[in-house]
Amino acid sequence: MTRIDVLPSSFRIEDYFDIILFPSSNYHLQTFSDDSQVLLGHYGYENNTYTIEYQLVTKTPGLFILRQGHDLSNTPEQDFEGKCKNLGIDVAAVVNGGGDNNIHMLQDSPDPHFNERMLIEPQRRFHKVGGYCFYVR
């Protein structure tokens, strides 16, 4: 979760949201040395579906982007019995059935990373990583 209506954009989730985590998703709040924060954990797997569950309760107004990343693209070379040769892995986090997820709100950010760079390749930089923009008023 990133607040994108300020410069620099703020990666401090707990400054803007109360976080409710559920043990089934094994998520936790990770704070890095630069003071940025992310939620990290493992997807649950049941009935051929991977899921996560957490809740964010707003504390302050602003423009935000939620992105659901994964680390599978960091390990594209997988080796297991029956794997087809010369095929890598490709993972996408689909939000709202692939809807536009308010991508136009990126233009409201003063940060060129969001209002320019992400819009150059929106499929790869926004939709494929589960991007969703929203305002809290």
- Give me the percent of the chain exceeding a pLDDT of 70: 85
Which residues span the domain enclosing 67?
2-136
Q: Is residue 74's pLDDT more than 60?
A: no
Mean pLDDT, to the nearest integer, of 65-84? 67
Distances in Å between the alpha carbon of 52 and those of 31, 43, 49, 76, 110?
A: 20, 5, 10, 22, 31
pLDDT digits (tens, 9 = 90+) for 107-122: 999 999 999 999 999 9
Of 74 and 68, more confident: 68
Please name every residue paired with 136 in a beta bridge, in sequence order, or none if there are none: 62
Summary mean pLDDT of the chain: 86
Whole-number Å distance between alpha carbons of 126 and 108: 15
Please count the structural domains in the chain: 1
Give the mean pLDDT of 32-39: 94
Is the pLDDT at 13 greater than 90? The verdict is yes
Non-local CB neighbours of 46 within 8 Å, separated by 6+ positions:
none
Residue 46 CA, distance from chain mean position: 21
Mean pLDDT, rounded, for 85-90: 64
pLDDT of residue 71 exceeding 70, the answer is no
Secondary structure (3-state) at 73: helix
The span from the CA of 105 to the CA of 133, in Å, is 6
What share of the chain has pLDDT > 90, as a percent?
57
> Model pTM?
0.82
Distance of CA 113 to the CA centre of its chain: 15
